[in-house]
């Protein structure tokens, strides 16, 4: 009911001309869209914020085309923000992680419409070419109809029988498995996923063969880069360090080392993994040659935005079309500002310190 009321309210605002007015008021501000992955089967039902149906993504892109909204590359857009020459209501499309689903379903949709995009790639799982364990694990438990799980049946070093009907108990089981897997090499993590599937009665083989939880190969990333989609940095191990500059720089260096032979341009733009960031990371990023960094905090980018804390609009299957329109128009951003819930500003002086 709440979603229906929200949709009704947004439709009323649209047809009352408030979306049009919002676009006028925010026309000099850059909208950066954030996507993660595009479903190969039913993953959007598992995590509707991480996955989007290809049909929904095409609908978003077609909306941009119909409205003749300028879609720019990230580097060009940020340069135009700084120069004050940004086209009205301009949009940048960014996609995080580098999933195979993006290669299969996202990139072709962009190519068909001749739209530029930036792909932030995390490289540990990409280099190892095994499924991303935590996401695959979550999907297995989501897909299972088992009422309980005996962890000892998965591996003798694990203990405990957990009720999967109880979310709290299920989370305890998941956390034990995540901690156990973190100590394993990549091939052993893959074997573990197969064993988990056997115990909770989910066949992992077709999921693995369809590459639901895998990142692109080197050849696929090279093909993406050669087609005009920009590859950029997203750390090697999908982690960041606020109080360890050396570890933070190592993440960037390792990430860049894998991507450099595949990318078509300079690797100077960065995306914080999981949106986790702190101003304490900025010196390490600058020393690593990073000139911009995007977050998952919602908001628009202006000349006052710190280039190492750029907000985005995170889109997903759970976002309705009218809500997407409301975000792009600037209406929801203006509402957040009126309520004091918009991105807290960081001074430009601080961002350049």
Which pTM was predicted? 0.93
> How does pLDDT run along the chain (353 residues), one tens digit per residue?
788 899 999 999 999 999 999 999 999 999 999 999 999 999 999 999 899 999 999 999 999 999 999 999 999 999 999 999 999 999 999 999 999 999 999 999 999 999 999 999 999 999 999 999 999 999 999 999 999 999 999 999 999 999 999 999 999 999 999 999 999 999 999 999 999 999 999 999 999 999 999 999 999 999 999 998 999 999 999 999 999 999 999 999 999 999 999 999 999 999 999 989 999 999 999 999 999 999 999 999 999 999 999 999 999 999 999 999 999 999 999 999 999 866 544 433 233 22
Return all residues near 57 (Cβ < 8 A) that are at least 6 apart.
35, 38, 105, 106, 109
Cα–Cα distance, 317 to 101 (Å, whole number):
14
Q: What is the pLDDT of residue 342?
A: 66
| Cα–Cα distance, 237 to 161 (Å, whole number) | 31
Contact (Cβ atoms closer than 8 angstroms) between residue 155 and residue 195: yes
Give pLDDT, residue 348.
Answer: 31
Q: Which of 264, 276, 212 is nearest to 238 (CA)?
A: 276
What DSSP letter does each residue of 273-308 carry, written as one string?
A: GGG---GGGHHHHHHTT--EEEEEEE--B-TTS-TT
Question: Residue 343 has what pLDDT?
Answer: 58
How high is the pLDDT of residue 353? Answer: 24
All residues at 6 or more sequence positions from 348 whose CB lies less than 8 Å from its CB, including other chains: 304, 306
- Count CB neighbours of 246 within 10 A: 9
Q: CA-to-CA distance for 198 and 284, rounded, in angstroms?
A: 44
Report the distance separating Cα 334 and Cα 329, nearest Å: 10
Q: Give residue 275's pLDDT.
A: 87
Query: How many helices (DSSP H) and strands (DSSP E) are in the chain?
Result: 19, 12
How far apart are alpha carbons 322 and 9 in whole angstroms? 10
């Amino acid at each position: 009911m709440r979603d229906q009321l929200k949709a009704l309210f947004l439709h009323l605002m649209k047809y009352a001309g408030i979306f049009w007015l919002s676009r006028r008021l925010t026309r000099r501000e850059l909208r950066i869209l954030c996507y993660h992955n595009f479903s190969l089967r039913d993953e959007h039902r598992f995590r509707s914020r991480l996955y989007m149906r290809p049909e929904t993504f095409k609908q978003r892109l077609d909306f941009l085309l119909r409205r003749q909204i300028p879609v720019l590359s990230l580097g060009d857009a940020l340069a135009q923000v700084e120069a004050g020459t940004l086209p009205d209501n301009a949009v940048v499309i960014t996609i995080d992680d580098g999933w195979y689903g993006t290669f299969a379903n996202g990139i072709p949709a962009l190519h068909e419409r001749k739209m530029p995009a930036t792909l932030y790639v995390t490289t540990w799982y990409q280099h190892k070419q095994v499924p991303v364990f935590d996401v695959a694990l979550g999907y297995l438990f989501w897909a299972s109809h088992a009422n309980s799980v005996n962890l000892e049946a998965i591996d003798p070093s694990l203990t405990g029988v957990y009720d999967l009907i109880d979310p709290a108990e299920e989370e305890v089981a998941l956390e034990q498995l995540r901690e156990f897997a973190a100590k394993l090499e990549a091939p052993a993590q893959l074997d573990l996923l197969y064993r988990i599937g056997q115990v909770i009665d989910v066949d992992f083989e077709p999921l693995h063969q369809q590459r639901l939880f895998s990142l692109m190969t080197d050849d696929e990333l090279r093909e993406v880069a050669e087609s005009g989609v920009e590859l950029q940095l997203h750390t090697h191990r999908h982690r960041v360090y606020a109080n360890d500059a050396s570890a933070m720089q190592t993440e960037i260096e390792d990430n860049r080392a894998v991507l450099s032979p595949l990318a078509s341009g300079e690797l100077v733009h960065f995306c914080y993994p999981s949106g986790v960031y702190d101003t304490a990371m900025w010196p390490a990023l600058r020393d690593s040659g990073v000139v911009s960094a995007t977050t998952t905090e919602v908001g628009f980018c202006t000349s006052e935005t710190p280039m190492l804390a750029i907000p985005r609009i995170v889109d997903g299957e759970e976002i309705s079309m009218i809500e997407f329109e409301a975000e792009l128009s600037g209406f929801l951003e203006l509402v957040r500002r009126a309520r004091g819930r918009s991105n807290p500003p960081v001074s430009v002086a601080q961002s350049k310190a």
